[in-house]
């Protein structure tokens, strides 16, 4: 129990540190609202599941053990973030804003992207996480620290999957908190064409910055 509590605490501290995943979730929430933030969190943690399965199954070790494969994955992730940045800079913002009644009949503006856009948000979140090889290194280094020494390979894989599931749950809860925080800021940043243009430039700059951070 103590070991599990320590793992949960360590997971909380690590996930709370802003990185490409959290920045993406907040950016999407600010740009497109709460639903996009929720879908972003879901996509990011879908990518986390891929990394956990890779670490437990040994695929992560194969990738990190081959410099060429690792470099290709790193540059693919950076390239995809750069693509998102350029797309944001060249886009013509036109969010659909619905007024929903809040407490006391007050209206609350919320950006609600259409279904196909939400699918694209999910896809982007999955790819940003899966194509980041630093996440693979993280799980290969982090999960074994909480395993008893001398476990046979089968039990090691099961324990790693269980710890990965706990980490995924902790991360998803924190991701939702960041998503709702970004959505709370959305109403202050949307509204006029000039604000929309500034927001698109800001989003594009964030993605390009993340591309540089992932590539090094």
pLDDT tens digits for 174-216? 999 999 988 887 766 665 566 667 767 777 787 788 778 777 6
- Lookup: tokens for 164: 């990965």
Measure the N-to-C terminal CA separation of the chain; round to a whole number of Å.
Answer: 38
Q: Does the residue 169 lie in any domain?
A: yes
Domain count, the chain: 1
**DSSP annotation string for 162-180:** HHHHHHHHHHHHHHHHHHH
Q: Does the residue 97 lie in any domain?
A: no
Q: Does the residue 140 lie in any domain?
A: yes
Q: Does the residue 176 lie in any domain?
A: yes
Residue 110 DSSP SS3: strand
pLDDT tens digits for 7-64? 899 898 888 887 888 888 988 888 888 899 999 999 999 999 999 998 888 776 777 6
- Residue 150 — φ and ψ, nearest 5°? 80, 15
Residue 106 has pLDDT above 60, yes or no: no
Q: Does the residue 9 lie in any domain?
A: no
CA atoms of 176 and 62, how far apart (whole Å): 32
pLDDT tens digits for 61-103? 777 677 777 778 778 878 888 888 888 788 765 544 433 333 3
Q: Could you count the other beta carbons within 10 Å of the beta carbon of residue 132?
A: 26
Q: Tell me, what's the pLDDT at 4?
A: 81
Q: Tell me, what's the pLDDT at 187?
A: 65
Q: Are strands 97-101 and 107-111 parallel, antiparallel or unpaired?
A: antiparallel
Range of the domain at 34: 25-92+108-215
Q: Tell me, what's the pLDDT at 40?
A: 94
CA atoms of 122 and 28, how far apart (whole Å): 10
Q: Does the residue 20 lie in any domain?
A: no
- Smallest CA-to-CA distance from 86 within 201, 212, 213 is with 201
Q: Does the residue 68 lie in any domain?
A: yes
């Amino acid at each position: 129990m103590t070991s599990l509590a320590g793992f949960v605490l360590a997971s909380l501290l690590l996930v709370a540190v802003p990185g490409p995943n959290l920045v993406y979730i907040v950016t999407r929430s600010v740009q497109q609202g709460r639903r996009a933030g929720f879908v972003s969190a879901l996509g990011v943690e879908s990518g986390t599941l891929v990394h956990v399965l890779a670490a437990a199954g040994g695929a992560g070790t194969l990738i990190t053990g081959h410099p060429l494969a690792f470099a290709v994955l790193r540059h693919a992730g950076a390239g995809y973030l750069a693509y998102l940045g350029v797309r944001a800079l060249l886009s013509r913002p036109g969010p659909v804003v619905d007024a929903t009644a809040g407490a006391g009949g007050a209206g609350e503006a919320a950006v609600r992207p259409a279904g196909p856009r939400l699918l694209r948000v999910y896809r982007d979140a999955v790819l940003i996480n899966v194509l980041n090889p630093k996440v693979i290194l993280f799980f290969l280094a982090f999960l074994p620290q909480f395993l008893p020494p001398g476990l046979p390979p089968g039990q090691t894989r099961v324990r790693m999957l269980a710890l990965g599931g706990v980490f995924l749950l902790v991360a998803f809860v924190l991701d939702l908190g960041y998503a709702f925080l970004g959505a709370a800021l959305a109403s202050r940043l949307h509204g006029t064409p000039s604000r929309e243009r500034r927001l698109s430039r800001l989003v594009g700059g964030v993605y390009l910055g993340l591309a540089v951070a992932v590539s090094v």
